[in-house]
Amino acid sequence: MAGTKTNEVPGTRAVLRHYRMSAYKAREVLDLIRGRDVVRADEILRSTPREAARVVAKVLTSAVSNARNNDLLDPEELFVSACFADEGTTMKRWRPRARGRATRIRKRTCHITVIVSRLPEDRLERLRARQADRSAALRSRRVAASRRAEETAPVEAELEDEDLAPAELGDAEAVETEDFDEGAELADDELADEEVEDEVEEEPSDVEAAADDDAAAEAGDGAEVEGAADDESSQESD
């Protein structure tokens, strides 16, 4: 008894007809996603640097949309149950060659079909377990990161307090020192001003004393001159 034909596989399908590409090129890409779940198949198509990969990705997206909207299936529970490319019509063109001859050019087309179905129960269980393990791992990483943040926050706060406290004390001492220095400078300026005033007041007394000394010296010189004149007059009388 013959098995189920490829084009008779049950599921939701999407078909792209008369695409300007050879069926051989499309089949090479379709072989990569056959039997894969939808998420993994989409990842493979996104990372495949071929024109056929871009086209097959659009057909796969259409098939998933049909399954979600028409058959009410969960897109995360779907897989590519069948995919194939049939040869379409071939357009014939002619190219001139040497000696008056001509060569035929074949412009091939293809029909791309993608069928998606719901995963079997055993594969669904494995997929759900894998997703649960992944979510648990992500949650454990988030919890560990939050705990590390909570543990490091008090230490960082203490370090900030330790760094700020000496700086604040130093600033206060610097302000007090500056105030003290300003007061000392003001006191020194006042003392200097007082000394200058004392010198100014003392200068006239020095000038008066010097004038008195000059007057006394002149008086002494006059007395000596008079004494010398008296001696000369007494000698002449003798």
Residue 56 within any structural domain of the chain: yes
In this prediction, residue 28 carries a pLDDT of 95
Mean per-residue pLDDT pooled into runs of 10, the chain (238 residues): 76 94 95 93 94 96 94 91 94 95 95 93 84 86 87 72 55 50 57 56 50 59 53 53
Residue 177 within any structural domain of the chain: no
Q: How many separate helices (H) and strands (E) can be counted in the chain?
A: 4, 5
Residue 47 within any structural domain of the chain: yes
Residue 29 within any structural domain of the chain: yes
Buried-state track 151-181, b at ≥16 Cβ within 10 A, e below 16: eeeeeeeeeeeeeeeeeeeeeeeeeeeeeee
Which amino acid type is present at position 90?
A: T
**DSSP labels for 124-161?**
HHHHHHHHHHHHHHHHHHHHHHHHHHHHHHHHHHHHHH
Question: Contact, 21 vs 108, CB < 8 A?
Answer: yes
In this prediction, residue 180 carries a pLDDT of 45
Residue 179 within any structural domain of the chain: no
In this prediction, residue 169 carries a pLDDT of 46
Q: Residue 18 is part of a domain; what is its CATH number?
A: 3.90.470.10
Task: Report in angstroms the alpha-carbon separations of 164 from 19, 153, 155, 169, 174.
Answer: 72, 16, 14, 9, 15
Residue 87: give the domain boundaries: 9-95+104-119
Reading the block at residue 106, the tokens are 């074949």
Residue 187 within any structural domain of the chain: no
In this prediction, residue 9 carries a pLDDT of 85
Residues composing the chain: 238
The three state secondary structure string of 18-46 is EECCCHHHHHHHHHHHCCCEHHHHHHHHH
Q: Which residues share a beta bridge with 104? A: 94
**Count of domains for the chain:** 1
